[in-house]
Structure 1
Amino acid sequence: MSTWTDDELTRVGDADELRIASLRQDGSLSSWRTIWVVRDHDDLYVRSVKGTDSDWYRSTRIRREGRIRAGGVEKDVTYSDADPALNDQVDGAYRTKYGHYAQSVLDSVLTDGAHSTTTRLLPRT
């Protein structure tokens, strides 16, 4: 399995927003969506504010592969379901990074629905 470089972790983790696309059945990329991304140690995580109803989230479930862009990094990734035991840690990362937003906006990534979509981004070579 490939791992993130320190530079990639820093650049993507520090980016305010991430662009995400899924790999379709025919190998093409879906439309890019803009979402938040957080870093927890050597891992990167994303969540859907609309829970499992989000189009971008549902499309990541089909092939589990796609591409991300953030902080000047563009990388092919695998979408992996995060361990639910990490939700508190990931919540903390969201609070730290995005705590300057209105509480109602921040709360959108801290709901049970958002928790159910916590996705770990794994780099592909």
Structure 2
Amino acid sequence: MTDWNGADLEKIAAAEELDLASERSDGTLRDPVTMWVVRSGDQLFVRSVKGTDGPWYQGTRSRHQGRVEAGGVRSDVTFHETDPGDYPGVDAAYRKKYGRYTRIVEHVLTDRARASTLRLEPR
């Protein structure tokens, strides 16, 4: 596992949204998708409201890498599936950061969304 440097971790975690562009099989980047990002411990996570059937999630499956941008940080990353044991911490992070969006935040706390939880690691 590759760790984030402290400054980048803080900046990305504090950002309201993150832009994620996954790599196609030929190495080019797809158009970025804007989404929520949370920090649990010293790791960053994203989820698809549409679960593993979500188009952007499916895009991460071809090469398991891409680029993210948030909080003034741009980083090439790898996408890693998350162990279900990490879901409670990620759920808590979503509730804490985005809880003010009461109707919307529940959509990233479903079993379907949890199954698409990806950990972002810098490359």
Deviations 1:48-94 (A, max 9, x none): 00111211100101110000000000000000001111111100000
Q: Which residue in 1 is equivalent to 2:6?
A: 6
Residue 7 of structure 1: how far off its partner (Å)? 0.4
Percent sequence identity is: 50
Residue 2 of structure 1: how far off its partner (Å)? 2.9
May I ask how many residue pairs the two structures share in their alignment? 123
Q: Which residue in 1 is equivalent to 2:97?
A: 97
Query: For 1:58-69, what aligned pairs fall within 5 Å after superposition?
Result: 58-69=58-69
Query: 1:13 corresponds to which letter in structure 2?
Result: A
TM-score (norm 1): 0.96
Deviations 1:19-67 (A, max 9, x none): 0011111111001000000001110000000111211100101110000
Residue 3 of structure 1: how far off its partner (Å)? 1.5
Counterparts of 1:57 and 1:30, CA distance in 2: 12
Counterparts of 1:10 and 1:87, CA distance in 2: 21
Please say if 1:85 is aligned against 2:110.
Answer: no
Counterparts of 2:97 and 2:36, CA distance in 1: 10
Please say if 1:43 is aligned against 2:73.
Answer: no
Please say if 1:20 is aligned against 2:30.
Answer: no
Instruction: Give structure 1 stretches of 5+ with no counterpart.
Output: none
Residue 122 of structure 1: how far off its partner (Å)? 0.6
Counterparts of 1:80 and 1:24, CA distance in 2: 16
Counterparts of 2:88 and 2:40, CA distance in 1: 11
Partner SS, residue 49 of structure 1? coil
Counterparts of 2:52 and 2:81, CA distance in 1: 12
Instruction: Give structure 2 stretches of 5+ with no counterpart.
Output: none
Counterparts of 2:103 and 2:113, CA distance in 1: 14
TM-score (norm 2): 0.97
